[in-house]
Structure 1
Amino acid sequence: MNKLPVLGNITPIIPAGGDLEKSIVFYEQQLGFTTLYKEGNPVEIAIIKRDSAEIILQRNDDRYLAEWTTFRIQVDDIEQLYREFQSKGGQMIHPNGILETKPWGMKEFVILDVAGVCITFYEPVN
């Protein structure tokens, strides 16, 4: 019996602006991530994680690249996560990306990080 390969989590490497320490603080304090690893002085690369979501932040001050970088993170209990982010001021939530149910069957909201990267948090509607 042949076992089929199974894909696991994906770990994006994203542009984090010219000041990686500023991005790390944002991900830790605003989004609840923990820093697992940092390299360089000044920091050139960092690995951050929250639950199963892992992201590699790379120092890169190309604003155009950051603003065209986007990815999605699936969430269990998206309404609780949305309230958590709102309780931290909610400035990271995109004004056009408030929590709502989309026609494609997902409840989602969008945030922008300090470099301009767009992250959509989503949960399938049952």
Structure 2
Amino acid sequence: MNDIAPHGIRFGRIAAMLPVKDIRRAHDFYVGVLGFAKTFENGNPVGFMILKRDDAELHLTLQPGHKAPPFNVAHLMVDDADALHALCEANGRRIIKRLQNKDYGLRAFVFEDPDGNRIDVGQRL
């Protein structure tokens, strides 16, 4: 795989932007339950926040009228899908697609965060 894309453009990291109705509630879930750390926030009241854990990065944006779409908005690779699945269930998160081994080489499931954003989780088999 080339480090240089067509036209000489090299891409860096990309982070999912999640719209949330209540940024404190989203913060409490991603930081308090999933173990992310807040690395930046902006606004008074806070309207934008960056969260990081390991190689994962999420950007939360306050959108009071947010209505979650009926599709996955982010894909998160982990090293233990079973443990994350159990953590989501223990914290009352709705499981959209049950945990199972997929024919494309991932152990996967989909859950909803507190704002209804669907996160697709995968672990390489």
2:69 alignment partner in structure 1: 67
- Structure 1 unmatched runs, 5+: none
One-letter amino acid matched to 1:4? D
TM norm structure 2: 0.79
Q: CA deviation at 1:84?
A: 4.0
Question: Comparing both chains, which one has the higher relative contact order based on Cα–Cα distances under 8 Å and sequence gaps of 6 or more?
Answer: 1
| SS in structure 2 of the partner of residue 57 of structure 1 | strand
1:13 aligns with 2:40: no
CA RMSD of aligned residues (A): 2.2
Q: CA deviation at 1:62?
A: 3.0
| SS in structure 2 of the partner of residue 99 of structure 1 | strand
* Equivalent pairs, count: 118
Moved more, 7-16 or 39-48: 7-16
Q: What are the superposed Cα offsets for residues 58-84 of structure 1, whole Å, 9 maximum, x if unpaired?
A: 0012333x3346110111232333344
The answer to whether the Cα contact below 8 Å between 1:67 and 1:115 also exists between their aligned partners in 2 is: no
More strand by share: 2
In percent, how many aligned pairs have the same letter?
A: 28
**Structure 1 runs (4+) greater than 6 angstroms displaced:** none
- Structure 2 unmatched runs, 5+: 5-9
Residues 8 and 101 of structure 1, relative CA distance in 2, 3 Å threshold: farther
TM norm structure 1: 0.79
Residues 21 and 74 of structure 1, relative CA distance in 2, 3 Å threshold: same
